[in-house]
Structure 1
Amino acid sequence: MYFRTTDDMLREFAYLGKDTASRVVIDAPNRISDMIGEPKLFIPHPEGKETFQPHWDGAEDELREITLRRAREIYGETLPSIVQKRIDKELGAIIGYGFSTLYMIAVKLVGKSLADGYIVGSRGSVGSSLVAYLSGITEVNSLPPHYICPSCRHCEFDVSKLGKTGLDLPARDCPECGHRMGKDGFNIPFEVFLGFKGNKVPDIDLNFSGIYQPTAHNYVKELFGPDYVFRAGTIGTIAEKTAYGYVLKYMEERNLSFTNAEKERLARGITGVKRTTGQHPAGMVVLPVDYEIYQFTPIQHPADDTESETVTTHFDFGSMHDVLVKLDILGHDDPTMLRRLQDLTGIAPADVPLNDPEVFWKILSLFSSPEALGLSEDALGTPTGTLGIPEFGTRFVRNMLVETRPRSMEELIRISGLSHGTDVWVGNTQDLVHQGVPLGDCICTRDDIMNALIDLGVDPEVAFKTMESVRKGKGLEPFMEEAIGQVAAPDWYIGSCKKIKYMFPKAHAVAYVLMALRIAYFKIFYPAAYYACFLMRNADAFDATRMVARDITVLRAMMEEIDGLERQERERKENEYALLESLVEMNLRGVCLRPVDLYKSHATDFLLTDGEILPPISSLPGVGQQAAEGLARAREAGPFLSQDDMQRRKVAKSTVEALKLAGCLNGLPESSQVTLFEFGI
């Protein structure tokens, strides 16, 4: 069965005669098509808009009130001109294009998470919006770098020559009252988020703690009602290798033999075919109250599991993008780790003193040397101190740090942008840096394209379109190349743009770097708490039977063993290798691990005990969370009399064996029975 061509169909109906066959095959179908018109998957918007957005009465006024109140708290009752103009421009666009409710949803979600004690990180370009910062959605201040006095509210914005971000500015006392001034601002244009004419539908994506993510999802249902909130559906398709396997199985079952070319042809025909359905890990689709979900998509349980409480859209969200609003409420490790660090140290993430020059420069030094950890490069075996620091701890990014030697917050943001892009560093910016082009002149984030072209004299709308085209990997259209060619752009500029497949937004890079700096602060000043939380974050790769070693030669021998493996196996053990690197560093700094303790170890958490770290029961091979929690419940009844007693208290036999192999049951007899021989009879 296959689609026939027009000639095929004419031959099929040749018995009607040439003229009649032509009317049946060509004329009649075209007339029917004209009567139907252009088919559309979704209903037309009554106002001619593209997106059906939820609407809250009063959202516009509430957003304006929250924004202005916070702006005056920071900058004083009479706002500086640059602040007032930016707020007016943004609110005009946000309210004018109908995005107030979208902002207020994010305001309420972030506010609830913060009230419950969990910091939230912003993703994407939302940090480009000053209104998002002032309303509490993001911690990224998109204004140019500036000083602000927390006492008298005196501001100074004409300071760009002193630093390209607020954190890079030197310390300064207020000329009005003498108080030490605060520093802020990352210089990100709002247009990156919404476009120059509101021609870009904004995405507000948020990183919640993985622990808190289910609460955030349920809160969206509370805000809108369960009939108007659905998980975004996904469609799992057959991968290329799986398709090839199906072809081989088909041949085997039927005793067939095909050429390699035929195998490839059949596999290509299967690749991409729907295999199953699922749910987006973060996406929540919100429906306006005046509509039913069936006007846009069928709904279902993921993988047709009728026992599941989750209801998803049948269409994957890619087919509905910009038609319905999707909130990306992601679970992320950084907010969880910062909350655990707060619990151990009493220091909230917002209280980490990044504005203290001495603290900031000490943190910054980690990105080029481990000396702030009290270690030398030779002792540690790596030239930076960023092992375990999110976004900067992998071998790939550490090599970037070695090649670029960052000395400022601005350069860290650029490196973050490069490391998250595709074909932006390797074979592109890396070569330019080797040729002597300063990192600050290179294209590192998508914002760099628009900002640089506007500064060179390119029309802002053309600069925006160029940025959007390049960051999506679409290269340059002829009118874009022509515009760049008419200004004094570097010779390498067009070639660099054409190589790029994906570019990271600057606001997202700033948010990631701020998280990394906070965690680096705890690594320097609270090492035991940091390593306990780091191990908790990487618990899946930790093996308490092998990695509890105070002799770093043992740990390094394990690393050498991994280095000697074949490439594929070595890559599979990459997480284990990274963990071993940090364990070496931890021991060199005097923080040690204790063996798992039958009675003192927590079921699943790493504990701090007298400056040392006690691994959980679940860190033993073969002991999962449920088994570890079962042991913890069983020991509440008092000390175990024997290994048999453990099993009588419902401790799994496999857990008892794992504890025995790890040496945790030394001195505990196998049986509670007492023989006459034990009494010497």
Structure 2
Amino acid sequence: MSDPFVHLHVASGFSLQYGASHPHVLVERAAEHGMDTLALTDRDGTYGAVRFVRAAQRAGMRPVLGVDLAVAPTGALGGPSRDAGRPAPRRTPARGGAVRDTSLEQGGHPRVTFLASGRSGWAALCRMVSAVHLSGERGRPVATLEVLGPWLAGGDLLVLLGPSSELGLAATRRRDDLGLATIAPWLDLLPRDNVVVELVSHRLGGRPGEWGPGTAPHAARMAGIARSAGLATVLTNAVRYADRLDAPTIDVLDAARRLVPLGSANLRDVGPGGVRGNAEGFLKSGKQMHDVAEEVCRLAGLGDSELEARRLLARTRLVADRCAMDPRADLGIGEVHLPELELSDATASSADGALRRRCEAAIGWRYGTGPKQVVWKRIDDELEVIAALGYASYFLTVADVTDLIAARGIRRAARGSGAGSVVNYLLGISGVDPIRHGLLMERFLSPLRVSLPDIDIDVESARREEVYRAILDRFGGERCAAVSMMDTYRVRHAVRDVGAALGMPPGEVDAIAKAFPHIRARDARMALRDLPELRVSGLGDGALDHFFGLVERLDGLPRHIAMHPCGVLLSDATLLDRTPVEASWAGFPMSQFDKDDVEDLGLLKLDVLGIRMQSAMAHAVAEISRVDGVHIDLDDEVQVPFDDTTTYDMISSAKTLGVFQIESPGQRELVGKSGIESFDDIITDISLFRPGPVQSDMVTPYLEAKHGWAEPHYLHDDLRPILEGTRGVVVFHEQVIEIIARFAGVPYDEADEVRRALGTTAGMATTKTWFYARAAALGYDEPLVAQLWAVLEAFASFGFCKAHAAAFALPTYQSAWLKAHWPAHFLAGVLTHDPGMYPKRLILDDARQLGVGVLGLDVNASSSDYSVERGASEEGHAIRLSLTDVKGISAAEVARVVEARAGSPYVSLSDFFHRARVSRPILERLVLAGGFDGVYGIGSGEHPVTRRGRVTRRDLLLQVAELDLHARSLERASRARGLSRGRTPSPSTVAAAEAARRNSSDATTRGGAETTERHALADGGVWARAAAQSQASRPVVEAESVQLTLRLGDEPGEPGERPTGLPEMTSVERMRAELEILGLDVTQHAIAAYDEFLDALGVTRSRDLLQRRSRSELLVAGVKVATQTPPIRSGRRVVFLTVDDGSGPVDATFFEDAQGPFAVTVFSSWLLLVRGELRRTGRRGVSVRATGAWELPPLHALWQRARSSEEGLALVRAELVRPRVPAAAEPAHRRVLVHSSGFQLSPYADVRPAGDAAKDVARHLWHRSPGSPG
């Protein structure tokens, strides 16, 4: 063959759970075969297209792009046609809500492949895919000829009718007449040259009589039908994986996609479009495909099979030539597409002029009346760079968005390197003055930067979707979409899908999955060797080696698409020509590309992050105003000054639970050691708690110099002005830039590019030679240069951007100020919007330690949020628990409880039953959790005898049953009388109608752009169609509530009139009910039941730790509230454990030498006794270097069973010194990740530990928070 073969039908791993290879692997394999062109035609979308094109560019290969879509039957085969409004029978939903494909033989749809030709073809493909996704049910894209028609009419798309199409089904039935009938509808939509028949042979069968898709005789018959219709044919291999050895991965994916085990009858429809019948669906070489072509042509009886095979391959090549894409000219890679100027309401003649006018107008606001020479110089320099890069409209657009947010009263703050720009500060995008804090614009933007600038906006998490809607309102569905992301296989998902495919018992599979921390699937067997808690499990003894081999094969393969938590695309009116969109779960239009893809496409991505701390602070400010009548603006430096000693004292005492960025054990230890005295100290602290400074051992010299224990050390006087603010220590990226600029004699923008090069091994080597030569040319001697290079090499690209740290320091200080001055209001906000890395119960304990009262659940006082109430004293405040903590209660039930009492409080259980109309299980939980204690004056439960003759919680539970029984009888009677209930439109219908109303004005409110029939994806606009598919807005099905609001006069008597004499719940019973229903121990700490035992054993309480001598051995105990595995400079794994004993938290550290026999206990137990050595971590900070851990309940039981306390203590102490069965021997070679700087990192650092997910064990004293409040 003179030209290489081209594969035109290739599915990558982005054909979710269908393809088994990443796009770059397919490109690499094609290059090894000497191919110069390759197609990617993923199922249902173009999810992998951009990274495929990037890989093709690197390999010098021409990309061809297309898509494989399900198409509703046309009726040509004799059955009824079925449009997208009547989809195939619903498929079984998978875990997490995903929906799996079914094959044609199982009642699914035929599939057709489409290829794009040129720039207009790519635009048509993108809009066609969008139309298909938005025309039916979310997650079930099915095209119809009516939907496809407008996009096929332009002649820029080619259609491949293959073995999975209706034509292929006709061939399977040996009905050439029907085959010709299936072709006719396509010829009505497309030029004849654009309809191509795809021949596929996986050489299935081989014995006489075997027949069907994937067999050579089937392909030969399709060739005959094509010849009769006068259509061209091409040969493909319907590729699903790169190598023959990847075939077992396909088996697992097929089983997972269809939710059946391997060997099931549902996995027997073999061939292209079904499951694999053999291992032939890989990316074959040109020689192998020539052999297939010759066999097909011979069976088709086309004469000289060798000659016809060459012609078939030539036609395949011709189609590839026609569809080969130029990444820049056709896809726009390398171009930039910003929103049009008029969309930003600019009144100047140009974007540059408009930007300058806005900046100049804000100088007085930001910088007052003082001298401004430095400010003007900085503005001029920045605007010159922005104008040269053509980014003025970018800044105006971001400013427009922040103005939208501010106009709605939503808290916002910038983060990232963008805080280093004075333009951002003047536009109100950032709240940090870069001149005041010495921040560099070049770290954010310079003429040498090839990537788009990146500005991140933090907003209140509770109002993030409101912000999204405002942005969509402003820019419209043709110019705005959310960014997507792919959820990929990690070890737990892979274990579950492989286990299900192999037919293993679900309980066994679940136990194996939960044994692993949240690591990559490819690291499964390595973790079995490395981690002591897994070495003792026996999972790595070899019996499951095949199982874990399959698990590792799934690593990194996409599972499903989701909306990115913060990315929003803003572009001009051609956005939908560049990216397909589909509906997100919440009903927002969502690009099929991720954050890296959209940057390559030159699309502006604005990160709008929902930050729970911003919501917590907004809640606190609102509560201060509501309860105390004080109106606070956290952004006003007069009201919240940056020199508040009360705030800094609180931070330095490490009492920072709930405070943004500095609440983790490591951070609390660092602020305690450091002693925070200024805002700049916060900036430095946030930056020091990073891998770079840890690896460079910069924390110790910084602390020594800060406290005067050692003099700051400067290698050269030229370093003094750069490092003086951090006591001679390199902490920030900006300092690295300044060092390179000073000692190499280059401008800041070039210095930043050099800093970036330090992050790669090749860049490190090249930069070292360059730096030595430049420094020597400036007269610096070689020993000094060598010392400077050692600092730069160790720091490399780790460290932290000072602008980012300064942006973080602002909400850190604001949240600390609130906690120091308004603790009740602040902690109410933290509890309402999820408490960071610690459970709510620990935050409530912290509130008590600060003198804030905690008020229990009350149906007349509790609401959807944690609220503040005035305490008994004049200055005191208390926090009231929220109704939302009640297990199983819905938002609708909470709303009814609050709304129904607006006119008057509830006076009885019966009154509540009729007015609030909650389900019986919720009503029973409200009773058990104390929600009616205030109504009936029920006390603490400590002295149940005093309750005789009065109502108890048990009486109320009995009354609930009677009320429910009575209401059900009335319900039956009302149905018999024909009474009916009114219905209201579902929220999803309302959302779609509202979005349609907003989109209807696109043409007039979005700059007058015309909307043609071709470019209108559907009536009402893109957003309307996406909103109609929203899953989030659909009402949750609640437990049936049969209460009628009619008072018929015959309901059961009030319990206050007839107490039953049932005893009140004891304090222990109450605590158990609280833990089960609220996930909180409100009236009594969970550890209280062990107090007598712990005191006898000599356990030190958190409140007494400061009185103990440093390095003394001690025992601590408590409820586990957090575990972390942060990176440390040795590259080994360290486990940070925090337990709470009711008087405060205790932080313990397990290094690797202590983890072996105790790791399982640390990760799997909830009540712990920990032995260790006390360490001082500052003036008022302590931690424990742990040497052992035991589960508390068995030790307590051992003590209780003894005949005396002394005998029990002896047994317990013997247990504590008894040698533990060690874990299997640690492997001789432990894997460590090594950065180009030499920094070593454990692969198990910064991963969630093994065990149950937080949401599954919330009633086991754990919490539901997904992480830090940031």
Pairwise TM-score range, normalised by the shorter structure: 0.7 to 0.9
Given the alignment, which residue of 392, 395, 407 partners 1:100? Answer: 392
Deviation, 1:456, is 2.7
Distance 1:281 1:211 in 2: 13
Structure 1 runs not aligned, ≥5 long: 144-184, 370-383, 542-573
Which residue number in structure 1 is paired with residue 566 of structure 2?
A: 282
Distance 1:222 1:674 in 2: 54
Counterpart contact for 1:70–1:135, Cα < 8 Å: yes
User: How do residues 219-234 of structure 1 correspond to structure 2 at under 5 angstroms?
Assistant: 219-234=470-485
User: How do residues 229-268 of structure 1 correspond to structure 2 at under 5 angstroms?
Assistant: 229-252=480-503, 262-268=546-552
Which residue number in structure 2 is paired with residue 602 of structure 1?
A: 863
Distance 1:412 1:354 in 2: 19
Distance 2:382 2:1058 in 1: 87
**Cα gap change, 1:29/1:78 in structure 2, threshold over 3 Å: closer, same or farther?**
farther
Which residue number in structure 2 is paired with residue 393 of structure 1?
A: 663
**Percent pairwise identity:** 19
C-alpha RMSD of the superposition: 4.0
Deviation, 1:284, is 1.5
**Cα gap change, 1:493/1:402 in structure 2, threshold over 3 Å: closer, same or farther?**
farther
Deviation readout 1:64-114 (Å, 9 max, x if unpaired): 111112224555789633222211111112123121121112222222333
Counterpart contact for 1:424–1:500, Cα < 8 Å: no
Counterpart contact for 1:428–1:499, Cα < 8 Å: no
Counterpart contact for 2:686–2:805, Cα < 8 Å: yes
Deviation, 1:244, is 3.6
Deviation, 1:193, is 1.0
Deviation readout 1:119-146 (Å, 9 max, x if unpaired): 3110111111111111211111111xxx
Distance 1:647 1:509 in 2: 52
Counterpart contact for 1:422–1:501, Cα < 8 Å: no
Which residue number in structure 1 is paired with residue 376 of structure 2?
A: 84
Q: Does residue 316 in structure 1 map to residue 594 in structure 2?
A: yes
Distance 1:521 1:585 in 2: 16
Distance 2:450 2:928 in 1: 63
Given the alignment, which residue of 880, 884, 887 partners 1:614? Answer: 880
Q: Does residue 468 in structure 1 map to residue 756 in structure 2?
A: yes
Counterpart contact for 2:495–2:551, Cα < 8 Å: yes
Q: Does residue 507 in structure 1 map to residue 886 in structure 2?
A: no
Counterpart contact for 2:483–2:563, Cα < 8 Å: yes
Which residue number in structure 2 is paired with residue 298 of structure 1?
A: 580
Deviation readout 1:169-193 (Å, 9 max, x if unpaired): xxxxxxxxxxxxxxxx111111111
Instruction: Give the SS at the match of 1:607.
Output: strand
Deviation, 1:367, is 3.1
Deviation readout 1:403-431 (Å, 9 max, x if unpaired): 44444433321221243x45553675447
Given the alignment, which residue of 621, 635, 653 partners 1:350? Answer: 635
**Cα gap change, 1:199/1:389 in structure 2, threshold over 3 Å: closer, same or farther?**
same
Given the alignment, which residue of 281, 284, 287 partners 1:4? Answer: 284
Instruction: Give the SS at the match of 1:351.
Output: coil
Deviation, 1:596, is 2.0
Q: Does residue 365 in structure 1 map to residue 649 in structure 2?
A: yes
Distance 2:470 2:684 in 1: 35
Counterpart contact for 2:831–2:843, Cα < 8 Å: no
Deviation readout 1:445-473 (Å, 9 max, x if unpaired): 33232122213335335521232234x66
**Cα gap change, 1:679/1:459 in structure 2, threshold over 3 Å: closer, same or farther?**
closer
Instruction: Give the SS at the match of 2:452.
Output: coil
Distance 1:6 1:269 in 2: 27
**Whose helix fraction is larger, Structure 1's or Structure 2's?**
1
Distance 2:428 2:812 in 1: 20
Structure 2: which amino acid aligns with 1:534?
V
Instruction: Give the SS at the match of 1:207.
Output: strand
Distance 1:33 1:88 in 2: 54
Deviating more after overlay: 670-679 vs 446-455:
670-679
Q: Does residue 339 in structure 1 map to residue 608 in structure 2?
A: no
Deviation readout 1:576-630 (Å, 9 max, x if unpaired): 2xx5554444323322112222212223332223422222222344444333222
Which residue number in structure 1 is paired with residue 766 of structure 2?
A: 479
Which residue number in structure 1 is paired with residue 337 of structure 2?
A: 52
Instruction: Give the SS at the match of 1:363.
Output: helix
Q: TM-score, normalised by structure 1?
A: 0.74
Which residue number in structure 1 is paired with residue 1132 of structure 2?
A: none
Structure 2: which amino acid aligns with 1:660?
V
Distance 2:894 2:341 in 1: 47
**Cα gap change, 1:489/1:416 in structure 2, threshold over 3 Å: closer, same or farther?**
farther
Deviation readout 1:320-350 (Å, 9 max, x if unpaired): 2142111111211233233233321411112
Structure 1: which amino acid aligns with 2:358?
I
**Cα gap change, 1:621/1:490 in structure 2, threshold over 3 Å: closer, same or farther?**
farther
Distance 1:678 1:261 in 2: 68
**Cα gap change, 1:224/1:537 in structure 2, threshold over 3 Å: closer, same or farther?**
closer
**Cα gap change, 1:267/1:447 in structure 2, threshold over 3 Å: closer, same or farther?**
same
Distance 2:791 2:356 in 1: 43
Which residue number in structure 1 is paired with residue 414 of structure 2?
A: 122
Which residue number in structure 2 is paired with residue 169 of structure 1?
A: none
Which residue number in structure 2 is paired with residue 216 of structure 1?
A: 467
Deviating more after overlay: 126-135 vs 645-654:
645-654
Instruction: Give the SS at the match of 2:661.
Output: coil
Deviation readout 1:174-228 (Å, 9 max, x if unpaired): xxxxxxxxxxx11111111112445341012100112332232222223322221
Deviation, 1:56, is 0.6
Q: Does residue 190 in structure 1 map to residue 441 in structure 2?
A: yes
Counterpart contact for 1:188–1:507, Cα < 8 Å: yes
Counterpart contact for 2:862–2:883, Cα < 8 Å: yes
**Cα gap change, 1:615/1:493 in structure 2, threshold over 3 Å: closer, same or farther?**
farther
Instruction: Give the SS at the match of 1:342.
Output: helix
Counterpart contact for 2:460–2:615, Cα < 8 Å: yes
Q: Does residue 142 in structure 1 map to residue 422 in structure 2?
A: no
Structure showing greater radius of gyration is 2
Counterpart contact for 2:679–2:813, Cα < 8 Å: no
Q: Does residue 575 in structure 1 map to residue 838 in structure 2?
A: yes
Instruction: Give the SS at the match of 1:186.
Output: coil
Deviation, 1:14, is 9.9
Instruction: Give the SS at the match of 1:349.
Output: coil
Distance 1:42 1:196 in 2: 21
Deviating more after overlay: 260-269 vs 221-230:
260-269
Counterpart contact for 1:412–1:513, Cα < 8 Å: yes
Q: Does residue 593 in structure 1 map to residue 593 in structure 2?
A: no
